[in-house]
Structure 1
Amino acid sequence: MLDTTYTAVRRHPSPRTIPGATVQPTVQTLLARSDLALTLRNPSASLPAVALATQVSWAHSSDLADPTPFLDAGHVLLTTGTQFGDGADDPGFAADYVARLRERGVAALGFGTEVIRAGTPEALVEACTVQGLPLFEVPYRVPFIAIARTVADLIAEDAYARHTWALAAQRSISLAALRPDGLSATLAELSHRIGAWVGLIDATGSLDREAPAGALGQPALGEVVGEARSMLRRGQRASRTLLAGESTSAPQRMTLQTLGSGGALRGVLAIGDSAELDQAGREVVTSVIALAGLALEQNRDLDRARGHLRSGLLRGILAGDTALAERVATEMWGPLPATPVRVAVTDAPALHVDRLTELLEVRVAERGGRLFFGRDDEQLVLLLEEADTGLAEELATEFELPVGVSDPVGPGGIALAHEQALRAVERARESGAGVVAFDEISRQGVLAFLARTDARAVALATLAPLSEHDEANGTALLTTARTWLEHGGQFDATAHALGVHRHTVRSRIALAERLLGRDLSGFHARADLWAALLAVS
């Protein structure tokens, strides 16, 4: 009983139940051990609900008046009461002593009887009862080292059980990975082993698969997918912890981990909260992350091979040889889109090309074909049925890319539609408009194509006399000239549109002619001025 050796055992996460294994020791575990013969002195009803379930992570003995510098949360302090001396019945000393222990997070206090004192001081019992700290008596025949060894043994047994559990789980997960749909089987086995929801969000930001299916409802699922998409957009390897469904009565703590290398993320693995996610559980999750990453990388290699095939078929389609492309596409993905079709062109920057490709593969699968795409150098070219034109807006919004869309064409018009889409995507880049349809440009006529970088420089120089005069004198020559040309050179209609007198319009146009050094009464001069105005618009 006089053995007060400083004894320590390692800390460990919250207790769990493992079939066929002991559990992490708690205060209740120690009290229930008949070989220790410990007696709880304060009524259990007076203690906080979790007091006796607090995990014991350390056993330490000390008779110091203030042992807290040597203690930490979850420790059990064992004492013979030497520090109380003649003041054992002083309520103030006992209250302060217990308050220090509670503030430090001590799990329980054990008082060794028949060594210094015949029993536990009543002032100490009262202080522990009031402050909710479990207090038990240790009989003379039970040395403190026996309690410390019990804690250490239980932790060691639990550690061995966790190690055995982790090996068994990793073996089962490895076998699951060998099944035909190895990725789904792997996630299902992980979910079963840790007793939590597991989901895979693919590179497109969509929930690809989950286990158990439908177990995570809204709004938690939407929040998880939203956070995963944010991580994918950043393009960097990362992990996040998210409290999903905070607005509900049952929020869930979720852990999200990216899959793949930085700059080429393949998806995000989301895992619900589980008591099994201690060190052993995290090792199992790490093995799943590695297996899932490997499976997705293998899929990536297949995607690249399919991408090369698509690019080859696209070249054939643009060259007018659709027969071979039709046969191959039908066998691989489904029939080509039915005419009339539109051609869409968008940029394919290296940062987004994998996610773009995966999203489009998903859309192809959803449509059973009826959608075709291929890479053409640094661009993606899509063949869309009329019902699928909304996909262009989806790409522009999700990836912040310019997209050009052609007019609808028949079987022999794909090459022409491709040219239209190229012109439209050029306009989308310049204007930052997201999606630009070719018919938006064609309605303005051939001069609309002059709104390009090279023409813009010439146009700015042409219009400089008018813009400089407007800036220096507060006039509106440019606005007047544009409105006048829009109204076919009619002074009355222009005056009405601008809300000024027709003589004002005449004088402004006359001034513009002098500044430009040209007569605007002829068609060619007006057309040139209109082209310049279009190029800077």
Structure 2
Amino acid sequence: MLPTLRRLLARPELSLRLLTPEGDLPPGSLDQGLEWVHSSDLADPTPFLSPSQVLLTTGTQFTSDAPGEAFSRGYVARLRERGITGLGFGTEVVREGTPDALVAACLADGLPLFEVPYRTPFIAVARAAGDMVAEERFARHTWTLGAQRAIALAALRPDGLGATLSELSRQLGHWVALFDATGGLDRVFPRDAFARSGVGGPSDMLQREAALLLRRGQRASSTVVDGGESVTLQTLGRGGQLRGVLALGGQVELDPAGQEVVTSVVALAGLALEQNSALGRARGKLRSGLLQALLGGSVELVQSIIGDLWGPLPAAPVRIAAIGTGRDGLEDLIELLELRVEARPGQLFFARQRAMIVLLVDRTTGPLLTELSTAFGLHIGVSDPAEYGALPRALAQAERALERSRDGAPAVLEFEIVSRQGVLAYLARTDAGDVGRATLEPLVRHDAERGTELLASVRVWLEHNGQYGPAADVLGVHRHTLRARIGQAEQVLGRDLAAFPARADLWAAFVAAG
């Protein structure tokens, strides 16, 4: 943070006098940052100036033969465009007093103009400004060290990550929010930061920006203006394994000292989240072992272990949900499930099982399964309700439902729906299709060689439970004609279709062949 022109004007030893009343200047004109003081009597000194500097001049360029008001207006306009903080006019060196045309031009353009008396050398003004800049930089450096020390001590507390972010918010005077790897708000400091804004949570734009950074999968940062505040967002974690997004908001942008503190916190937060991830992998292995114990019937043992870790198991009867997953998004899915377990103790338990995520859920978690399927594009199979003693059977049901769900778009499919479709519905999804086509091949070949319609006739006849009249009506032939065709089909197939096993086997062939 730079010292201001107001502080320079207030130095009593310089005896500087403001010629443009503050009330006639744009708001905040005297509170602009002052980076350095430069002196020049050039008609156009701007090529040698930088923004946030104060320019001092003795007025050699404002001689009597200069073009007066027009020259003054152009001179001041160039200074304003260059970003000069203020203009100081040294009197009694070249001329007495400050030109009225220059005062008018500064007032018209909103540039602070002050008078430097003859007894105050320009070098004294420059030295005073340099001292203030050095003091301010030293103060900010001291603040940076103090802030980093306070944040480091906060990181040693039991909830190191939360304490670190809380201390960062206090040191910067900004609100600080952490979004998890799924883009959901994890925590915010101060806790009522969003409540005070009247919206109760992060804005849609802020959430979209955090989600966009996460989807890119690379370390990145961005700055947006949201609700009149400048908000800086910074990803946490390594490229390809982002752990979340840190967001900081306030009425003013951070200076380099503040940014340096944020950089150190990003490193600390990233490390904490990486450690949490490693701990998560260990918890995952423990969960998988506990699931095997549950499937083996050791319910009381599992309950005694997980009680202090994740709360009680879901109350029986429970359903098992089998989620088919790939590598992409797996860690995000597990992290979201961890958050849901923490938020809903006693309603959910999950673990990895081979290439699946297996969930034990109670009757209240149906919306969660739909949310997972929609958010991650997942196929999910769900068992019938079961007691803990029947978990292996429930797991088999969930796997069958998961297998069937893969026939369509990602969705949640319950085993109850699958069971209504019957056993034969599975034939079309297995290698039984080759067997079915081979069974029907004699009829297909006979129809092709002799122009008969045995295949279609047999199928319609079986669909009508072997009744000749209704089947003949559908085919548009006389029932005696159909009876003759069925007899001919029996000869071609070498089967007696009057027997139920033969009819069932032939119908299964039709189903399997598709």
TM-score, normalising length: structure 1: 0.79
Structure 2: which amino acid aligns with 1:257?
Q
In 2, the alpha carbon distance for the partners of 1:163 and 1:430 equals: 63
Matches of 2:467 and 2:213, distance apart in 1: 58
CA shift, 1:296, in A, is: 2.2
What is the distance in 2 between the residues matched to 1:51 and 1:394?
Answer: 53
Counterpart of 1:529 in structure 2 is 510
Q: Distance in 2 between matches of 1:461 and 1:96?
A: 96
What's the counterpart of residue 280 of structure 1?
257
Aligned-partner SS, 1:424: helix
Change (3 A) 1:219 1:365: closer
The one-letter code sitting in structure 1 at the alignment partner of 2:202 is: L
Q: Partner of 1:468 in structure 2?
A: none
SS in 2 for 1:346: strand
Show CA shifts across 1:50-92 (max 9, x none). 2222222232222222112222322222122222333346222
d(CA) in 1 for partners of 2:427 and 2:113?
A: 88
- Matched ranges for 1:320-339 at <5 A: 320-339=297-316
* 1:293/1:455 CA distance change after superposition, 3 Å: farther
Aligned partner of residue 375 in structure 2, secondary structure: helix
Q: What one-letter code is carried by the residue in structure 1 that aligns with 2:130?
A: A
- The answer on 1:180 being equivalent to 2:158 is yes
SS of residue matched to 1:94: helix
Alignment: residue pair count: 482
The yes-or-no answer on 1:420 pairing with 2:418 is no
1:248-267 to 2 correspondences below 5 Å: 250-267=227-244
Return closer, same or farther for 1:106/1:453 CA change in 2, 3 Å cut-off. Answer: farther
Counterpart residue number, 2:361: 384
Shift of 1:130: 1.8
Instruction: Pick the aligned partner of 1:52 from 30, 39, 64.
Output: 30
Is the 1:425–1:436 contact (alpha carbons within 8 Å) kept by the matching residues of 2? Answer: yes
The aligned amino acid for 1:44 is E
How far the C-alpha of 1:110 sits from its partner, in A, is 1.5
Report the Cα offset of residue 456 of structure 1: 7.2
- Counterpart in 2 of 1:130? 108
CA distance in 1, matches of 2:38, 2:237: 46
Q: Is the 8 A contact 2:37 2:54 kept in 1?
A: yes
1:63 and 2:41 are equivalent in the alignment: yes
Q: Tell me the equivalent position of 1:159.
A: 137
Residue 239 of structure 1 corresponds to: 221
| TM superposition shift of 1:251 | 3.2
Q: SS in structure 2 opposite 1:82? A: coil
Which residue of structure 2 aligns with residue 10 of structure 1?
none
Where 2:406 maps in the other structure, the secondary structure is: helix
Deviation at 1:276, TM superposition (A): 7.6
**Cα deviation digits, residues 109-128 of structure 1 (max 9, x gap):** 22222222122222222222
CA contact (8 A) 1:99 1:131 kept: yes
Structure 1 residue 241 displacement after superposition = 2.1
Q: List aligned pairs for 1:104-123, cutoff 5 A.
A: 104-123=82-101
Alignment of 1:71-470 (within 5 A): 71-88=49-66, 90-217=68-195, 218=199, 221-223=202-204, 224-244=206-226, 250-273=227-250, 275=252, 277-452=254-429, 454=431
Cα deviation for residue 168 of structure 1 reads: 1.0
TM-score normalized with structure 2 length: 0.83
Deviations 1:312-359 (A, max 9, x none): 111222234434323323343233222221111113433323322222
> What is the rounded CA distance, in whole Å, between the counterparts of 1:459 and 1:59 in structure 2?
93
Q: Is the 8 A contact 1:402 1:435 kept in 2?
A: yes
Question: Secondary structure at 2:97's aligned position in 1?
Answer: coil
Give the residue type in structure 2 aligned to 1:240. S
1:405 CA drift (Å): 1.1
* Residues 142-190 of structure 1 deviation map (CA, whole Å, 9 limit, x = unaligned): 2222222222111110010011111111111111122222222222211
Shift of 1:220: 5.5
Opposite residue 224 of structure 2, the aligned amino acid is L
Residue of structure 1 in register with 2:18 after alignment:
40
Query: How many percent identity over aligned positions?
Result: 54
- Cα deviation for residue 451 of structure 1 reads 4.4
AA partner of residue 103 (structure 2): V
- Residues 476-512 of structure 1: CA distance to partner in whole angstroms, max 9, x if unpaired? xxx99999988879999999xxxxx956799xx9xxx
- CA displacement at 1:26 relative to structure 2: 2.2
Task: Output one character per residue of 1:284-315: Cα deviation in whole Å (capped at 9) or x when no partner.
Answer: 12222222222222222222222111111112
Deviations 1:259-301 (A, max 9, x none): 2212222222222226582111122122222222222222222
Change in 2 beyond 3 A, CA 1:317/1:503: same
Deviation at 1:463, TM superposition (A): 11
Structure 2 vs 1, CA of residues 285 and 455 (structure 1 numbering), >3 Å: closer, same or farther? farther
What are the ranges of 5 or more consecutive residues in structure 1 without an aligned counterpart?
1-14, 16-23, 245-249, 465-478, 496-500
Partner secondary structure for residue 84 of structure 1: coil
Q: CA deviation at 1:453?
A: 7.1
Q: Distance in 1 between matches of 2:185 and 2:84?
A: 44
Q: How does 1:454-493 map to 2 (within 5 A)?
A: 454=431
CA contact (8 A) 2:433 2:512 kept: no
The structure with the larger Rg is 2
Q: Deviations over 1:460-489 (max 9, x none)?
A: 99999xxxxxxxxxxxxxx99999988879
Please tell me whether the aligned partners of residues 195 and 274 of structure 1 are also in contact (alpha carbons under 8 angstroms): no
Q: Distance in 1 between matches of 2:84 and 2:264?
A: 36
- Of stretches 325-334 and 411-420 in structure 1, the one that deviates more from structure 2 is 325-334
Task: After superposition, give the CA deviation of every residue in 1:399-435 in whole Å (9 maximum; x if it has no partner).
Answer: 2222111122223321122112112222333312322
Distance (Å, rounded) in 1 between the aligned partners of 2:264 and 2:318: 46
TM-align CA RMSD: 3.6
- Contact (CA 8 Å) 2:38, 2:55: kept in 1 or not? yes
When residues 487 and 129 of structure 1 are mapped into structure 2, their CA distance, relative to the original with a 3 A threshold, is farther
Question: Per-residue displacement from partner, 1:497-533 (whole Å, max 9, x unpaired)?
Answer: xxxx956799xx9xxx99xx99999654444333433
Q: Secondary structure at the match of 1:431?
A: coil
